[in-house]
Amino acid sequence: MAKMNMAARSGLAAARELRAVMQGKVVLPGEDAYRAAIQGRILRAGEDGYSRARKIWNGAIDHYPALFALCETVEDVQAAIGAARRHGLALSVRGGGYDWAGRALCHGGMVIDLSAMRSVTIDPAAGIATVAGGATGSDLAAAAAPHGLAAVTGTIGGIGIAGLTLGGGYGPLSGRCGLALDNLLEAEMVLADGGRTTADATENADLFWALRGGGGNFGVVASMRVRLHAPGTVLAGLITFPWPEAEAVLRGYAEIMATAPDELTVQAGMLPGVDGEPMVYLAPAWSGEPAGGQRFMAALQRLGSPAVSQIGFMSIAELLGRFDAHLAGGRNYAIRTRSLPALTPRAVSAFVAAGKCRTSPHSAITIDCLRGAATRVRPDATAFGLREPHFMVGIVAAWEPAIGDGGAAHRQWARALSDRLASDALAGSHASMLGPDDQQQTAFAYGGNAARLQYLKRRFDPDGIFASAIALPARRPRGAGG
């Protein structure tokens, strides 16, 4: 309680200071960058809009920040970091608010909320998008589509594109175009000392390396420039099969992906059907010549007896809405993840058993296949170290909030499947999907890049200001290469 009272007093002092800056009443000493008028707003507990600001995708997160800095400019971000540091407040950064572990909301601290900074500017001649720090995948896709262009995004449109990109970014174009982070060209940042800088392949190259996989551990990305592609319309959609066919469908899926060209990306897994019963699903996206895509769609449909088969030509912007209804915001979520070098018979059997004993009709399993262009990048070229082909499994326990239900049974369902997959999995997994209880996987998530990341964390954030970002390994794990 004493700590919370101290945080409240610090939050009040920081709020007063930020308001004074916003209203032009003071110029913060020694910081010329703060001289411009602050455009954003701040919110403290009890003020109108605080409860709304506190809501993120995962309804199970019940954090109460001391205040929100609703930033609209880079200068706002600088002022927020400066005030938080002077008043001893912990910091977190909110973009899309989709991080399942709730790292966007710093309990008792200050949230740098970028959700109002969503502008996207397209340079069609150069094939580059300039994206503000709070923009979502849907924002970027919608801006690029009229120009016949597309970015590498995730599979859910509401996810913040900055957070997705800094952590990795598996998506429908990854086989052909690499991960989202492989398409990052430049980042405009505010560092832990409040200074602004730019990081790209030539300027602050070490920082640029660390950003691509190390997430928000090194500063706040206020805007970034990303490479765009011209895939044309994509042949994509959703195919579902009855759960009794799950074993045959998943084995067939693995066989097809083993030899498929880069233009084919297929997410697989388990989703609830209209009657609440589990269905095995395939969500293919083909970005090559239409005739080749039709052949692969037919092959995927032949893996079982489709209950639903909705395949057609669409833009990336249209494609991103496929799973929004299945992974609705406001439910309670707990996620486990494993990265499998192959879908072994044992792993497939574990999926089938988990579908039969799930504890909630809303729970899901997602399987993303990392292959193609994303695997032809050297593991040490970016901080993202898992470049060998693999299947990234997301075990999504999801349940409706209910009084007295802390979700123990649902969390245990996800944990049990994760444990069953462990013997067939890589030692590490996708760092941005790992939670606070996944220290063992985090230790190996970056492969041989761990030591360099730790060094750069100390260099750019020596005081641990951005401690709420995705986890870095505490020390270099034994057996890690590089």
| Domain CATH for 174 | 3.30.465.10
Residue 267 located in a structural domain: no
- Does residue 6 sit in the same domain as residue 24? yes
State the pLDDT at residue 233: 84
| 332-to-42, 100, 154, 210 alpha-carbon distances in Å | 27, 9, 21, 32
Q: Helix (H) and strand (E) counts for the chain?
A: 14, 16
Q: Is the pLDDT of residue 175 over 80?
A: yes
Domain containing residue 367: 330-462
Residue 119 DSSP code: -
Contacts for 121 with CB less than 8 Å, ≥ 6 apart = 129, 130, 143
Q: Which residue has the tokens 């750019």?
A: 460
Residue 48, H or E segment: none
Q: Identify the CATH number of the domain in which residue 83 sits.
A: 3.30.43.10
pLDDT at 406: 84
Does one domain contain both 125 and 100? no
326 phi, psi to nearest 5 deg? -75, -30
Pair of tokens at residue 196: 């602004």
Q: What count of residues does the chain have?
A: 482
Distance CA 236, CA 459 (A): 44
The answer on 72 and 138 residing in a single domain is no
479 has pLDDT over 70: no
- Residue 27 forms part of a structural domain: yes
With a pLDDT cut of 70, the percent of the chain lying above it is 90
What confidence tier does 6 reach under pLDDT thresholds 50, 70, 90?
low
| CB crowding 305-331: b at 16 or more within 10 Å, else e | ebbeeebeebbbbbbbebbeebbeeeb
Q: How many Å apart are CA 148 and CA 233, to the nearest integer?
A: 8
For residues 247-254, give the mean pLDDT: 98
Q: What is the mean pLDDT of residues 295-302?
A: 97
* Residues 138 and 24 reside in one and the same domain: no
Count of CB atoms within 10 A of residue 54's CB?
18
Backbone dihedral region for residue 316 (phi beyond 0: left; psi -120 to 50: alpha; all else: beta): alpha
50: pLDDT strictly greater than 60:
yes
| pLDDT score at 13 | 67
Nearest CA to 461 out of 191, 205, 270 is that of 191
CATH number at 405 reads 3.40.462.20
Q: Choose between 40 and 255: higher pLDDT.
A: 255
Same domain? 351 vs 447 = yes
Q: What is the mean pLDDT of the chain?
A: 90
Among candidate residues 97, 113, 129, the one where a domain is terminated = 113
Q: Verify that 347 and 452 share a domain, yes or no.
A: yes
In a domain, 90, yes or no: yes
pLDDT above 60 (res 203): yes
Note the pLDDT tens digit of each residue in 257-270.
Answer: 999 999 999 999 99
Q: Are residues 182 and 273 in contact, defined by beta-carbon separation less than 8 angstroms? A: no
Please state the three-class secondary structure of 340-372 as a single string.
ECCCCHHHHHHHHHHHHCCCCCCCEEEEEEECH
Quote the DSSP letter at residue 25. Answer: S
pLDDT confidence tier of residue 328, bands split at 50, 70 and 90:
confident
Using one digit for the tens of pLDDT, what is the confidence trace for 112-162? 999 999 999 999 999 999 999 999 999 999 999 999 999 999 999 999 999
Same domain, 94 and 148: no
Task: Report strand pairing: 110-113 vs 67-70.
Answer: parallel
| pLDDT, average across residues 324-343 | 90
Q: Who's near 229: CB < 8 A, 6+ residues apart?
A: 127, 149, 150, 151, 152, 173, 176, 177
Distance of alpha carbon 70 from alpha carbon 29, whole angstroms: 22
pLDDT at 301: 98
In this prediction, residue 321 carries a pLDDT of 76
My answer on whether 24 and 98 are in the same domain is yes
Query: Which of 85, 113, 141 is the C-terminal boundary of a domain?
Result: 113
For residue 434, is it left (φ>0), alpha (ψ between -120 and 50) or beta? beta
Tell me the CA distances in angstroms from 273 to 14, 270, 362, one per residue in order: 49, 9, 10
Residues 194 and 140 reside in one and the same domain: yes
Same domain? 48 vs 147: no
Confidence of residue 94 (pLDDT cuts 50, 70, 90): very high
- Among candidates 177, 170, 239, 100, which has minimal Cα distance to 392? 170
User: For residue 476, is pLDDT > 60?
Assistant: no
> Would 287 be classed as within a structural domain?
no
Whether residue 209 is predicted with pLDDT greater than 90 in this model: the reply is yes
| Predicted pLDDT of residue 39 | 67
* Span between the terminal Cα atoms of the chain, in Å: 45
The mean-pLDDT minimum among 15-29, 31-45, 97-111, 187-201 falls in: 15-29
Contact between residue 102 and residue 117 where contact means Cβ atoms under 8 Å apart: no
Alpha carbon distance 191, 21 (integer Å): 20
Do 431 and 344 share a domain, yes or no? yes
- For residues 133 and 220, the answer to whether their CB atoms sit within 8 Å is yes
Structure tokens at 217: 């551990």
Together in a domain, 53 and 128: no
DSSP state of 180: G
Are residues 386 and 429 in contact, defined by beta-carbon separation less than 8 angstroms?
A: yes
- Does 268 reside within a domain? no
pLDDT of 29 higher than 50? no
Single out the residue of 248, 254, 245, 251 nearest to residue 277, CA to CA. 245
| Within-domain flag for 305 | no
Q: What's the pLDDT at 46?
A: 87
* Residue range 281-306: mean pLDDT, rounded: 96
Is residue 318 domain-resident? no
| Rounded Cα–Cα distance for residues 394 and 278 (Å) | 16
Q: Is residue 163 part of a domain?
A: yes
Number of domains in the chain: 3
**What is the pLDDT averaged over residues 274-284?**
94
